[in-house]
Amino acid sequence: MPDRARKIRVECTVNGRPVILEAYAMARLLDVLREQAGLTGTKEGCGEGECGACSVEIDGALVNSCLVPVLQASGAAIRTIEGVANGERLAAVQQAFIAHGGAQCGICTPGMILAAVNLLSRCPEPTEDQVREGLAGNLCRCTGYIKIFESVIAACRQSERHA
Amino acid sequence: MRSYLPAYRLEAPRDLGAALERMAREPGVWKPLAGGTDLMVLLEAGKLPHLNFLSIWKFPELRGIEFTGEHASLGALTSYTEIRCHAALLREFPLLCRAAAETGGIATQNRGTIGGNIANASPAADTPPALLVYDAEIELVSAKSSRWVPYRNFHLGYKKMDLRDDELIHRVRLPRMNRGWKQYYRKVGTRRAQAISKVCFAGAALVRDARIADVRIALGSVAPTVLRAVETEKILRGEKPSQHVLHAAQEALGREIAPIDDMRSTARYRRRIAQNLLAEFWEKISA
């Protein structure tokens, strides 16, 4: 196939820092974040929008970064797993995943945490059904889901105590 | 195998007019790319045959849900998230909201669009059966023209559409529903979330004086395109609910659909499930 495309410059912010990325317009945001921004916390699972391992937030909305061409991230505010903690202080969801065994092999965990954090930002006191729905796009192949759901519920309780 | 990225062009025209001009000037060269939830899957799988795309994702002209006295109208870029959360749509067009809520997970719902769901032309898509039940019309625009077509005539065959190379889907509109329609939607898949349907069923019925005054039924995953079950509707229309009528309708439905064996299910299972869903719809409307 002929090379017809040239790399473009995409200006956006990642975890609050302005960055300029250079990539083919159709390159997946996932690859550009990992390979150019060096943010390897975002994982690739299926590469087809089924597993949620590559979840990031774009302008506050949860997305699968494997399905976003980087051109469409131009001007956007992106948050990856590296931007969830406040410096050294882990977010409530992250602490709860540690305390309640929500992580095992760790591949789905960044996406699970992004999905959970995103859910709690929209819906601070979710029911169990809402937690299940909020995480329905994130697949885990080792812990099962119970400990993950428990972690998210525990994170809500902890946030309430701190409120 | 992955696609070779340098072969693909994706450009961002400044507005809808510029995109349509480009599509008119170089017919067949450019296709629109919205939220990417279908096209990017093909790209990663090395199965995206088309090479040149125009990003339409940021065009405000293609966004927004509006109600007039006669219609609800949705811009082609309306996302599943916007649909499922919209209070007026939830009241009047619950099947569409249900379909949006059952499509993928939250991340897909944030990026997937109603126009994309139509233009991807999958016979297994979740929102088209609801659109068929609501007698949706779609507006197709090009640099020179715009036209409304009934959605039920839009899919001409498997992945074939009444859509010219220089046209894209602008809006979808649904005639307002009178009160009193009983509505039913059910998607049957391998699991409750993140599954493509084996059979998807949408139905609405208006029951007056214990008779089915009007009925609309549509299904996904049972034919080369999503299908309005007109023969089944004919059997039901004007009838009083009875087991005899239900059986006749189930037989008609079995003849009307043309399911296949594939990786997700079998023709036999799909036919039986479609008939069972008709019975469940029937229970709901005769209650």
Of the partner residues A1, A63, A132, the one whose CB lies closest to the CB of residue B107:
A63
The domain that holds B16 is classified in CATH as: 3.30.43
The pLDDT, as a whole number, for residue A1 is 66
**Rounded Cα gap, residues B202 and B174, in angstroms:** 15
- One digit per residue, the tens of pLDDT, for chain B of length 287 reads 789 999 999 999 999 999 999 999 999 999 999 999 999 999 999 999 999 999 999 999 999 999 999 999 999 999 999 999 999 999 999 999 999 999 999 999 999 999 999 999 999 999 999 999 999 999 999 999 999 999 999 999 999 999 999 999 999 999 999 889 999 999 999 888 888 999 999 999 999 999 999 999 999 999 999 999 999 999 999 999 899 999 999 999 999 999 999 999 999 999 999 999 999 999 998 88
Classify B149 as helix, strand or coil: strand
Classify B124 as helix, strand or coil: coil
Domain count for chain B: 3
What domain range includes position B282? 182-286
Reported pTM? 0.96
B124 lies in the same domain as B220: no
Mean pLDDT value of segment A12-31: 98
Question: Using the beta-carbon criterion (under 8 Å), do A68 and B33 form an inter-chain contact?
Answer: no
Tell me: pLDDT of A161 over 80.
no
B109 lies in the same domain as B88: yes
Tell me: pLDDT of A163 over 70.
no
The amino acid present at A134, given as its one-letter code, is G
Fold of A8-83: Ubiquitin-like (UB roll) (3.10.20)
The pLDDT, as a whole number, for residue B178 is 84
Chain A residues close to B55, C-beta within 8 Å: 25, 69, 71-72
Averaged pLDDT score across all residues of chain A: 95
B88 lies in the same domain as B31: no
Considering only residues 84 to 103 of chain A, which have any Cβ-Cβ distance to chain B shorter than 8 Å?
A: none
**Rounded Cα gap, residues A27 and A45, in angstroms:** 17
| E strand or H helix that includes residue B219 | strand B211-220
Domain ranges of chain A: 8-83, 92-162
B26 lies in the same domain as B74: no
A69 touches chain B (CB under 8 A): yes
The domain that holds B197 is classified in CATH as: 3.30.390.50
B50 lies in the same domain as B69: no
Question: Using the beta-carbon criterion (under 8 Å), do A62 and B53 form an inter-chain contact?
Answer: no
Instruction: Write out the two tokens for B15.
Output: 């507005």
Of the partner residues B10, B55, B111, the one whose CB lies closest to the CB of residue A67:
B111
**Rounded Cα gap, residues B150 and B134, in angstroms:** 11
The residue from B16, B32, B55 where one domain ends is B55
Mean pLDDT value of segment A48-66: 97
**Closest approach of chain B CAs to the CA of A158, in angstroms?**
24
- Domain A92-162 - what CATH class? mainly alpha
B171 lies in the same domain as B109: yes
Tell me: pLDDT of A162 over 70.
no
The pLDDT, as a whole number, for residue B193 is 83
B78 lies in the same domain as B107: yes
The domain that holds B107 is classified in CATH as: 3.30.465.10
The pLDDT, as a whole number, for residue B179 is 85
A109 touches chain B (CB under 8 A): no
